[in-house]
Amino acid sequence: MRHEITVGEGAAERSIAVDMREGAGPPVIWFGGFRSDMSGTKAEALDSWAAATGRAFLRFDYSGHGSSGGRFEDGTISRWLEEGLAVIARFTSGHPVIVGSSMGGWLALLAARALKAAKAGREAAALVLVAPAPDFTERLMWDAFPPEAKADILERGVHLRPSSYSDDPYPITRALIEDGRRHLILEGTIETGCPVHILQGMQDPDVPWEHAMRLVEHLPADAVQITLVKDGDHRLSRSEDIDRLLAAVAAAGPPHRPEPAPGAQLRLTV
């Protein structure tokens, strides 16, 4: 069922489109990627799985994406995180399983951390992250940009970055880069309070698999499983990749533990 909620006030007010499938079990919530929308292959596959298994499933579009209002150029990590947390607060009453893809992986980690700190009974039951891109605005964009791209951002406020997934370039704004620095998490310990399963392609040109391994190093208190797909790309949308995703989500979400077990284990599969 389609819903619309309003997030923000005044000039920052925007309408967020949410699709909700009623069901049982910990609600599964989809956090999509940068410039992706909730009609993508993985989100559709999760919705079909939820329908077949009777699970509750939520997906939404960030502002400036898909069916939601607002301009993409106004988007920042802070705004998109605020929208994700608003969706969780409005449509869930239990412990969600958050599934995040690429940028959505960063937002899922930030959301889990915020839910844990809030202690409001909505702490994440589990995270499933597909090619997670924490700190991508700094580590995978700014640090890799040539001098002319950085000059565009600093002097003009925007750089038009060519995309492998669209004929139109992506506008990378100064606001996106500077706001991203407020949310960097690969500089200290990340405490989600729940198990984390990472799916990562080793042929990913956008988020190198080494980036996922660096993330693991910052999750010392959580039980972490990482599945490296030797021939997998960034999207991980092939049928065999979708099967891995559905299996990971189906296995996620054991009864919530207020605190992770000490000495949490790491499981690596290739």
**Span 93-109, pLDDT tens digits:** 889 999 999 999 999 99
Q: What does the pLDDT read at residue 172?
A: 97
pLDDT value at position 39?
A: 96
Q: Of these residues, 102, 135, 179, 211, which one is catalytic?
A: 102
Q: What is the pLDDT of residue 261?
A: 47
**Residue 265 to residues 130, 222, 223: CA-CA distances in angstroms?**
20, 7, 5
Residue 28 bridge partners (DSSP)? 57, 97
Residue whose entry in the numeric block shows the structure tokens 């079990």: 25
Determine the Cα–Cα distance for residues 252 and 128; give it in Å rounded to an integer.
8
Round to whole Å and give the CA distance between 36 and 66: 7
The model carries a pTM of 0.94
Q: How many CB atoms lie within 10 A of CB 160?
A: 13
Any catalytic annotation for residue 102? yes
204 is a catalytic site residue: yes
Q: Per the residue annotation, which of 47, 204, 206, 241 is the catalytic one?
A: 204
The contacts of residue 144 (CB under 8 Å, 6+ apart) are none
Fold classified for 2-135+179-269: Rossmann fold (3.40.50)
By DSSP bridging, strand 14-21 and strand 2-7 are: antiparallel
**pLDDT by 10s per residue, the chain, length 270:** 999 999 999 999 999 999 999 999 999 999 999 999 999 999 999 999 999 999 999 999 999 999 999 999 999 999 999 999 999 999 998 899 999 999 999 999 999 999 999 988 899 999 999 999 999 999 999 999 999 999 999 999 999 998 877 888 999 999 999 999 999 999 999 999 999 999 999 999 999 999 999 999 999 999 999 999 999 999 999 999 999 999 999 999 754 444 444 445 678 777
169-228 pLDDT, tens digit each: 999 999 999 999 999 999 999 999 999 999 999 999 999 999 999 999 999 999 999 999
Is 183 known to be catalytic?
Answer: no
Tokens of 258: 């207020």
Which of 152, 197, 234, 241 is an active site residue? 234
Of 260, 34, 261, the residue nearest 166 (C-alpha): 34
